[in-house]
Each structure stands twice: as C-alpha cells, then as structure tokens.
Amino acid sequence: MPDTRLSFKEMCAKFDVTARTLRYYEYIELLSPEKDGRSRYYGPKEIARMTLILRGRRFGFSLEEIRQWLEIYKKDGTRPQLETFVEFAGRQLKELERQRDEIDATLRDLAVLRETALDELKKLP
C-alpha cells in the first residue's frame, strides 16, 4: 500500500470536518500531522486516528475519553487499550440506554397529549 499522505484540506474533505475542528484536534493532541513549513500532512497513522476519533464521537465519548484511550495504546499497547475501551463502552452503553428510556417515555407522553388534543378538537364547533 502506498504511503498515503493527505493535505490539511484533503483531510477536512475526507472526514467532512471543518478546518477549525481539525486544528482543535491537533491543539488537544489527538492528531499530530507532519509539518512542512506552514503545511500539514496526515499519514496513515493520523488517518486511522481520525477514524477512531469520529467513531468515538458518534458513540458519545468525550474528546478527553478518546484522548486517554489513544494515549493508552501509545504508552501501554493493545491489551490495556482494549480493557479501557470495554470499560468506557460499558459506561456509555448504560448512558445511551438511559437516554433511550427517556426518549421512549417522552414519545409516549407526547402521543397521549396529541390524542387528548385531537379529542378536544372534535368537541369544538
């Protein structure tokens, strides 16, 4: 596989993120692009990290949790990273299930109120 390098603009386009987002991820040390003067280039490692960052965000992980998780791999390797992921994922699954229950309750309440409003409309001239 050729050594793929993306420019800053290409990285933004590939991952559909703003320049501000990409600069922020670099600022908080989630990404470390190669620098050539004022230009930034993202190699396979940074592309893979960006994929993991966006996946983590989609699952609801905080940027700090993602940063910690990526740092564990760099310092301690795969096993500790996977153990940490299992812990983070378990916690996030519980939170998402709580949110789903809350949404389900809200949907039921709204449906009841809608039916009540429809009944009231039928009574009006």
Please name the residue that has the structure tokens 């600069």: 23
Other CB atoms closer than 10 Å to residue 75's CB: what's the count? 8
1 has a pLDDT exceeding 60: no
Domain extent for 108: 6-123
Per-residue tokens: 119: 């009944």
pLDDT score of 2: 55
Region 4-32 average pLDDT? 96
Distance CA 4, CA 51 (A): 15
Max Cα-Cα span within the chain: 75
Distance CA 113, CA 33 (A): 53
pLDDT in tens, 36-84: 999 999 999 999 999 999 999 999 999 999 999 888 877 888 888 889 9
Residue 68, in any domain of the structure: yes
Distance CA 90, CA 114 (A): 36
Q: What is the CATH number of the domain that holds 27?
A: 1.10.1660.10
Residue 65, in any domain of the structure: yes
The fraction of the chain above a pLDDT of 70, given in percent, is: 98
pLDDT score of 76: 81
pLDDT score of 52: 94
Number of domains the chain is built from: 1
Distance CA 66, CA 60 (A): 10
Confidence of residue 113 (pLDDT cuts 50, 70, 90): very high
Residue 1, in any domain of the structure: no
Region 80-96 average pLDDT? 93
